[in-house]
């Protein structure tokens, strides 16, 4: 199966980002529903500007279309100026083929590990894949005033900030408008690599600094392939969950993308009776046992469950503390869906969960 970005997806996401930056909605999810409902009704083809997604209160406007016209060859930058839309097939990609390893000292690996630890893009990667990320990244020193990426250029690298201050700007009707500043942390450059589109903003170093960079091919092989494998794995898991049969293919795919794995060892508590409900769990691999606390202080085992079952949903639906304990039997791997995502993505299933109490007794609804 080929992993290809559908036509128009990049434009649609960029247009939505611009609307968010302009209107600053109080509830992003309600705004998204209204926005995409209007977009579906109109479906009028139009030119949409490209933006970088930033955490900023600044209002963004439309970039100058002249920025994206072919440049005179005499003034071309060293980077490529045209977007290459090469096909990437994760199923045919050999994990070991073209793997890039940049040697690092122990101190560099420690700094890089800390720098990438909070990046959302890498959250779904396992420990081996994270080592690939660290191996594939190389150090880049920058000077004050140096342009790291330029709006309109083709994407070559993904960057993680080790230290330094970096200003982000977009060209709006011929003038540069600063929309964000990275201060000694953060990452940028992923959109052009993920969507095969030109750089959507310019990033200039405001101080001397150090960046960690990953080339385009390594980024796609590690990040995109891992996302593909994760989605396929979780789609298969979710297809076997009876209560989720009411979800359509797209809803199940969206749910799969929101899950992330957690591993528990023998005897480790996954949830404890009386705790606040933080999410719902799906058993990927292994066995669990469920107990309830007795008044005299002991615990009574009431059930066991294995791969393909789930638990933790009733506490979310009823907005009550956990009513049972769940422990790992041997090594257990679960897929976890956070509370906020549960409420947003499993809306079509909640009424069924509430109504079908007879079906619920087949599962651990605690």
Annotated binding-site residues for 3',5'-cyclic AMP read: 190, 199, 313, 322
- Write out the binding residues: 190, 199, 313, 322
Strands (E), the chain: 138-142, 147-149, 157-163, 165-172, 175-183, 187-188, 202-205, 209-215, 260-264, 269-271, 279-293, 299-306, 310-311, 325-338
Cα Rg, the chain, nearest whole Å: 24
The pair of structure tokens assigned to 252 is 């199940």
Picking from 332, 234, 229, 256, the residue whose alpha carbon sits closest to that of residue 1 is 229
Burial string for 20-43 (b: 16+ CB within 10 Å, else e) reads: bbeeeeeeeeebeeebeeeeeeee
Strand partners, 291: 301, 325
Q: How far apart are the C-alpha atoms of 366 and 346, rounded to whole Å?
A: 17
Picking from 269, 277, 268, the residue whose alpha carbon sits closest to that of residue 322 is 277
């Amino acid at each position: 199966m080929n992993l290809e970005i559908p036509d128009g997806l990049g434009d649609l996401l960029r247009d939505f980002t611009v609307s968010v930056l302009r209107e600053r909605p109080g509830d992003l999810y309600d705004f998204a529903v209204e926005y995409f409902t209007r977009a579906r009704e109109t479906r009028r083809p139009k030119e949409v500007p490209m933006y970088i997604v930033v955490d900023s209160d600044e209002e963004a406007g439309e970039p100058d279309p002249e920025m994206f016209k072919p440049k005179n060859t005499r003034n071309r930058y060293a980077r490529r100026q045209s977007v290459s839309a090469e096909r990437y097939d994760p199923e045919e990609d050999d994990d070991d083929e073209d793997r890039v390893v940049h040697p690092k000292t122990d101190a560099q690996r420690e700094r890089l590990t800390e720098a990438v630890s909070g990046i959302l893009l890498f959250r779904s990667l396992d420990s081996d894949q994270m080592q690939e990320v660290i191996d594939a990244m190389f150090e880049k020193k920058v000077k004050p005033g140096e342009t790291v990426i330029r709006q309109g250029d083709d994407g070559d690298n993904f960057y993680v900030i080790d230290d330094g201050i970096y200003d982000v700007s977009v060209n709006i009707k011929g003038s540069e408008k600063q929309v964000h500043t990275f201060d000694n942390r953060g990452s940028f450059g992923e959109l052009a690599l993920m969507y095969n589109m030109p750089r959507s903003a310019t990033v200039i170093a405001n101080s001397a600094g150090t960046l960690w960079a990953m080339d385009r091919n390594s980024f796609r092989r590690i990040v995109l392939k891992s996302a593909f494998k994760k989605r396929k794995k979780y789609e298969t898991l979710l297809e076997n969950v009876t209560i989720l049969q009411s979800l359509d293919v797209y809803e199940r795919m969206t749910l799969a993308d929101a899950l992330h794995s957690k591993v528990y060892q023998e005897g480790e508590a996954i949830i404890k009776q009386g705790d606040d409900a933080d999410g719902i769990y799906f058993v990927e691999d292994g066995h669990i046992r469920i107990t309830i606390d007795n008044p005299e202080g002991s615990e009574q085992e009431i059930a066991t469950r294995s791969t393909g079952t789930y638990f933790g949903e009733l506490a979310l639906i009823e907005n009550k503390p956990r009513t049972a304990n769940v422990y790992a039997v041997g090594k257990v791997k679960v897929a976890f869906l956070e509370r906020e995502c549960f409420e947003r993505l499993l809306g079509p299933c909640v009424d069924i969960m509430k109504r079908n109490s007879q079906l619920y007794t087949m599962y651990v609804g605690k």
